[in-house]
Structure 1
């Protein structure tokens, strides 16, 4: 049977960065891998960031969009059926930052997927520097995507004080209780170290973490369109312009509850560069592929104010 892992995490937690490291580990173990990007957005930036991993033993597929959650679930199941006949040994599902985890497990329990796939590790990435407290909606997403994780992998530990993971874990357990989940995560169920120092033994532990089965009180976050994205395409912003505009937007209450700004720009000397912005972080890194785009993700975005800053958006899409 094909082992299928699920990698979840709140918006901007670092899922794609972790995925890159995990894929390299699995390839070294001789696995034949397919990465399934499961995203509600029309333009999948993360898909561009892992394209260089592709080769004879690593492929990539994508499920996107859908007029509603039911449509998206049908597309997800159809894609897994298609992939089940190709000969992969390991499938990694990296969903959107807003994702109904039950969709994943419900699909695997149905014919014919239950004959082809076995659930492997449910890995939840958590930013050790996550800005707290979260809004009620974000707190629900944060908790629901970790409720059944076999392991919590903290990101950005080297950028935060040593107590940060334990403080975030305490808040996560409080968040689980707030959605009537009986689970109480322990430090022994986490990995909290600089990702550059992760060893094969660390990855083996993560790979074998499995998953849990805890219930919780469901909320229809996606169907009620509490999250949305604005796409600003082909604006040809320079790095200085992106810094200025992103700072203005993320610190202006009229722009709404911005959680993350991400995208690409092309530097005349260095080529394509990836940009990731949160309230506490601004990172720029070279990438092999890209396109001129800035995506603003958040709750109740102030579209008119954001248009003043970035120009007219190409598309409005609910996450």
Structure 2
């Protein structure tokens, strides 16, 4: 039987980083297949995973949860027949609805030998409240549909703010495991244990209870529901859309701009471009920008941008430079001019 793990997460949450960690630390010895689904014209993340020994199938013609729902079952059955993997990791588009991806898998469970093993939502702890307020139809759906919620960048929050984030998530999902520890402090196997709903601590405590023949109420005395002031990042979206009402496909709310280019950029130039995208609204509401591009000083540059911040680092070469921007009300002409395309 092939296990199916769906690892969702809103734009820039860290899905690919998590998947790499799980492949390296938890899925050793398994025959894996990764199915990626990028929203937009250019698939970026495949280049980060193509040296991991995992068969990657990128589907760029639309979100699994949108136009590919009907075709997804056929694609999955073909993949099973061709590769017979032990485990398939599905990485849906960041703007997809996890519930629809789950439904697509469940629709063919009776036809092929598969098991929906886990449904995960990777959540950027810093931006959780902002995304809940402004893109709830998509963001909250991922939280509500997940059996495990894995917080990224939790180490950047104070204990008080982290508790508030957990409380906000619990309002949408009261039963999911929530991983709050910094990923660098725990192993991939520990994460998979939570994803597969095996709570080792719970098992140990139950064994102790059985051994000592007692069943007591919790007496810790803590009030776990705290209310705190909103974080600085809890901003209202000014894109003009009401994202929390009605039913939309991702391509009705989000737009993308992407190109492949051999153009070289300097680090200074990329930092300046990302500063413009991050600090002004001249180019639309930018939710995510990502690139793998050759550098004028030699080597390659990788960059990531999410609202309010960005990172530029040295990366590995790819077959050509690739740039992608996702957001709402994008002015694609201005973005092209900004990148000198």
TM over 0.5: yes
Partner SS for 2:282: helix
Inter-partner Cα distance in structure 2 for 1:112 and 1:279: 38
Q: Deviations over 1:217-255 (max 9, x none)?
A: 8722325x2101112442422221111011112211222
1:246 aligns with 2:246: no
Partner SS for 1:154: strand
Length-normalised TM-score, structure 2 = 0.77
Inter-partner Cα distance in structure 2 for 1:243 and 1:185: 42
Aligned residue number for residue 15 of structure 2? 15
1:266 aligns with 2:294: yes
Cα deviation for residue 132 of structure 1 reads 4.3
Q: Following TM superposition, where does structure 1 have runs of at least 4 consecutive aligned residues deviating by more than 6 angstroms?
A: none
* Pair 113,133 (structure 1): closer, same or farther in 2 beyond 3 Å: same
Inter-partner Cα distance in structure 2 for 1:172 and 1:283: 27
Partner SS for 1:53: coil
Partner SS for 1:115: coil
Inter-partner Cα distance in structure 2 for 1:95 and 1:229: 16
Aligned residue number for residue 45 of structure 2? 46
Cα deviation for residue 68 of structure 1 reads 9.7
Gapped runs of 5+ residues in structure 2? 199-243
Pick from 301, 307, 316: which aligns with 1:279?
A: 307
Partner SS for 2:248: coil
Q: CA RMSD in A?
A: 2.7
Inter-partner Cα distance in structure 2 for 1:137 and 1:279: 13
Q: Deviations over 1:83-138 (max 9, x none)?
A: 11122110000111011323322222334764321101111111121164337552
Aligned residue number for residue 118 of structure 2? 121
Inter-partner Cα distance in structure 1 for 2:101 and 2:63: 18
* Pair 106,69 (structure 1): closer, same or farther in 2 beyond 3 Å: closer
Aligned residue number for residue 330 of structure 2? 301
Aligned residue number for residue 203 of structure 2? none
Aligned residue number for residue 174 of structure 2? 184
Greater mean deviation of Cα atoms: 109-118 or 194-203 = 109-118
Q: Deviations over 1:33-53 (max 9, x none)?
A: 111112232211011111121
Pick from 79, 82, 86: which aligns with 2:75?
A: 79
Length-normalised TM-score, structure 1 = 0.81
Q: Deviations over 1:52-106 (max 9, x none)?
A: 212xxx3222222149966422332222011111221100001110113233222
Inter-partner Cα distance in structure 2 for 1:299 and 1:18: 26
Partner SS for 1:202: helix
Cα deviation for residue 184 of structure 1 reads 3.1
Q: Any residues of structure 2 matched to 1:116-155 within 5 Å, and which?
A: 116-130=113-127, 132-134=129-131, 138-155=135-152
Gapped runs of 5+ residues in structure 1? 177-182, 211-215, 313-319
